[in-house]
């Protein structure tokens, strides 16, 4: 299916897509993070449960965003490392060929010495900037055979190409070093945010944790209700479409009939839909098999996954290659309305497109939620309707 790319500009509205409100600003509560782990706040400056909940949620969101950036840098670093390895192998092979060519030219110089032609110094030949310079300097080119001249030309070409490849390999090594440094920075960013979130949660009392769990359960119930509502709307829509097809068939016949103008009416082809459904089923079979495996940031299986690692693996099982990050996956297909979502579609979340799940129908999806959780089925409204960024059909 053809890819239809769209703007990533936050805050815009695309027909059929629910564009979320701006994410809650986290900077207003940054002061909470300045407290050290071993300096418990007093009752006066202790943050409220609501503040802690909001901050922890935001930290997890930031960690997931940092994870996707880490994934992008890791992919770039992996490609760069492969390129460097290829270049170094090429340089090694070229150097070997160059040495062999140099030995052959050395034998020509020795032969010239034995015949007394110009009595060249073999040591001078070996130290010359190039064989061409040596032979030119000693005015031997006119006495060389065609084979000898061809060897000189070949050596000069090999030497130039080898030097160029060495330069390219050196530059690629420098780029690889920069990518590795960026990777370390991205990794440290994720770890810091997760550590801060765990620290905040560790300071909650048992009663506060129970209140948070109750609030989470209420939020989950609302998400399930919204999923059921979407499922009902989709069922009604499907029934209406089927009724329209039945009416069309009744009017024109299953194989199509000609009207008075001579045109022929036929029922819409479902070949594309059937093809997609077959691939989607393979993707969903894979995704279901991963349920219960832990979320680990940066992981692509088989024992653990992050959100985009799971969706990439699912569609790979269906023979479709998806990019590594959510930022790129959202571009890899056709955008459809939430109400038009079909099993296998990818559901993306938040303005910065930092989360993704695989739609399974009835308003539900399979996704790898966040650190400390496991791959599971959940309502696509798990974080509120406004959190849904878009739905993309990847094949």
Question: What residue spans of the chain are helical by DSSP H?
Answer: 49-115, 122-127, 131-137, 146-202, 206-252, 271-289, 307-317, 326-329
The sign of the CA dihedral 46, 49, 50, 55 is positive
CA distance 167 to 71: 29
Look up residue 316 and give its two tokens.
């790979």
The sign of the CA dihedral 182, 186, 189, 195 is negative
Catalytic residue selected from 74, 355, 370, 389: 355
67 and 183 in contact (C-beta within 8 Å)?
Answer: no
CA distance 308 to 367: 9
End-to-end CA distance of the chain: 5
C-alpha to C-alpha distances, 37 to 33, 50, 196, 199, 201, nearest whole angstrom:
9, 20, 9, 7, 11
Instruction: Residue 151: name the closest of 206, 184, 111, 196 by CA.
Output: 111
59 and 197 in contact (C-beta within 8 Å)?
Answer: yes
CA distance 62 to 371: 12
Q: Would residue 367 show up in a list of annotated catalytic residues for this protein?
A: yes
Catalytic residue selected from 69, 94, 193, 367: 367
Q: Which helix (H) or strand (E) segment is 348 a member of? A: strand 346-349
Catalytic residue selected from 190, 194, 283, 307: 307
Per the listing, tokens 């564009």 go with 19
CA distance 17 to 11: 12
Q: Give φ, ψ of 289 to 5 degrees.
A: -70, -15
CA distance 300 to 317: 13
Q: Which residues are catalytic?
A: 307, 355, 367
């Amino acid at each position: 299916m053809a890819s239809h790319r769209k703007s990533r500009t936050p805050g815009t509205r695309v027909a059929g897509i629910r564009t979320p409100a701006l994410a809650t600003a986290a900077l207003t509560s940054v002061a909470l993070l300045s407290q050290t782990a071993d300096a418990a706040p007093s009752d006066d400056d202790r943050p409220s449960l609501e503040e802690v909940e909001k901050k922890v949620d935001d930290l997890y969101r930031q960690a997931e965003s940092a994870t996707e950036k880490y994934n992008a840098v890791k992919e770039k670093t992996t490609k760069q490392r492969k390129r460097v390895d290829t270049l170094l192998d090429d340089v090694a092979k070229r150097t070997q060929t160059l040495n062999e060519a140099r030995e052959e030219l050395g034998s020509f110089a020795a032969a010239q010495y034995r015949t007394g032609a110009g009595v060249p110094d073999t040591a001078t030949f070996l130290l010359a900037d190039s064989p061409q310079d040596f032979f030119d300097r000693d005015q031997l080119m006119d006495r060389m055979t065609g084979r000898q001249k061809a060897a000189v030309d070949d050596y000069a070409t090999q030497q130039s190409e080898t030097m160029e490849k060495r330069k390219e390999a050196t530059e690629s090594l420098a780029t690889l070093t920069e990518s590795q440094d960026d990777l370390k920075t991205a990794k440290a960013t994720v770890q810091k945010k997760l550590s801060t979130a765990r620290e905040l949660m560790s300071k909650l009392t048992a009663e506060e944790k129970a209140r948070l769990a109750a609030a989470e359960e209420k939020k989950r119930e609302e998400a399930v209700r919204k999923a059921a509502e979407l499922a009902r709307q989709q069922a009604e829509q499907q029934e209406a479409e089927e009724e329209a097809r039945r009416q069309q068939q009744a009017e024109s016949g299953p194989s199509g009939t000609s009207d008075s103008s001579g045109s022929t009416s036929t029922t819409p082809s479902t070949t594309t839909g059937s093809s997609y459904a077959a691939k989607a089923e393979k993707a969903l079979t894979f995704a279901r098999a991963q349920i219960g495996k832990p979320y680990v940031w940066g992981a692509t299986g088989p024992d653990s996954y992050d959100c985009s690692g799971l969706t990439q693996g699912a569609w790979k099982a269906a023979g479709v290659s998806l990019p590594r990050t959510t930022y790129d996956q959202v571009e890899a297909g056709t955008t459809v309305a939430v109400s038009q979502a079909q099993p296998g579609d990818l559901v993306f979340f938040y303005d910065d497109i930092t989360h993704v799940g695989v739609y399974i129908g009835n308003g539900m999806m399979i996704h790898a939620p966040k650190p400390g959780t496991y791959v599971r089925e959940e309502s696509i409204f798990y974080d509120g309707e406004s959190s849904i960024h878009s739905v993309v059909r990847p094949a």
